[in-house]
Copies of this chain bind each other. A is one copy, B any other.
Amino acid sequence: MPTVTTDFNDRTIEYEQLLNDFKSLLKKNSLKFTIQREVILETLYNSDEHLTPESLHHLIQEKFPDLKTGIATVYRTLSLLEDSNMVTSLSFGAQGKKYELGAKNHHDHLICTECGNITEFVDEQIETRQHHIADELGFKMLDHSMQIYGICETCQQK
């Protein structure tokens, strides 16, 4: 073994925590831990992209062709994960949703209207204000999402 790669270790530990959370969640609800469910979680974890159910399905078919995972299972698992707040989604009208693991740090999104790419950001001032606003208006805040739409640097140069 070469010298320890902290990055890799961090990722590994993070993933195992995630996997354990998932297993606990399943147990708590008398649901079963299956290979398909694990592969979906793992693929989400290893992707830096925001994935559509379809693109997630494709990734899984490429990496684990033997499993023959059906798209229905991908949808069912994503719903399960979203209901338990392990993943979050962004909506795109009739074009569906894109999903990402919610275990990552919270962040908001800059979406390029030309190429569809998504850049993440966090701004503490905005986070703080959101809590103030919900309080003022009598809402019990559960979640929030913010998207800035525009043209990214790359597309501006075209």
Contact = CB atoms under 8 A, between A and B. Distances in A.
Interface of A: 89, 91-94, 96-97, 110, 112-113, 119, 121, 123, 125-126, 129-130, 133-134, 137-153, 156
Q: How many copies does the complex hold?
A: 2
A156 B134 contact: no
A144 B142 contact: no
Contacts of A94: 94, 96-97
Nearest to A145: B147
A130 B144 contact: no
B141 A149 contact: yes
Given A91-B91, A97-B94, A139-B153, A133 B121 contact: yes
Contacts of A141: 148-150
